[in-house]
Amino acid sequence: MAVSSGNGQFLGLGTGDSNYHGVNLSAEGALGKAHLFGNANFEHAHFNHYAFNGTNYDGLPVSYVPDTTFNVGAYYRAPMGGGIVLKPRAWYQYTGSQHVFDNNLGAPSQQTMPAYGTLNLSVGAELPRELAGGLAHSIELNLEVLNALGKRYNAFEEISSGGLYNTPTAGYVLALPGTPRVIYGTLDVKF
């Protein structure tokens, strides 16, 4: 792994090997006319060996591997007549805490970034083919709202080695904020 300073200077290579242990679960099924789904991942990742600039960091956690992730949701198909089918959907995505990389050390740290979760919503509509003069195989219209509650979170964090944005000191957290509420629509016409 290449390790660089905050101003982009190459400092050296961190080398090592790691083990990942975990379990993945998923389930889906119908409850009346609703379709429910969920999946989860529980993971533990540590370096067997990791060295940088002659210092041994064996046993440290692998950075940016969440301890837990899960996704749970439901959707429904509601025929409305006239060839229109509405498809509301809601799902929650969770990313557990994860260890961050320390650029001062050139190694993973014991510091973690917090877990976060987002609620997402969508409504879709299958429309009659006749709207395209019968030329389309299918027509779908969708509106999605991601991070519907406007949750503020950091999607990425690292401990700075200083110098980025002309900062003189090191050891502070640099973060990339997560995506704010996003609303978008799509029209999908297949011929």
Q: What is the pLDDT of residues 146-160, one digit of tens each?
A: 999 999 999 999 998
Q: What percent of the chain has pLDDT over 70?
A: 93
Domain range list for the chain = 2-190
The 3-state DSSP class for residue 10 equals strand
**C-alpha distances out from residue 13 to 17, 31, 47, 51, Å:** 13, 53, 15, 9
Q: How far apart are CA 123 and CA 145, in angstroms?
A: 9
Identify the pLDDT of residue 130.
80
Give me the half-sphere count of Cα atoms (radius 13 Å) on the Cβ side of residue 112: 13
Q: Taking the complete model, does pTM exceed 0.85, yes or no?
A: no
Flag whether pLDDT at 180 surpasses 90: yes
Q: What is 85-117 written as a DSSP string?
A: EEEEEEEEEEE--EEEEETTTTEEEEEEEPPEE
Flag whether pLDDT at 93 surpasses 90: yes
Flag whether pLDDT at 90 surpasses 90: yes
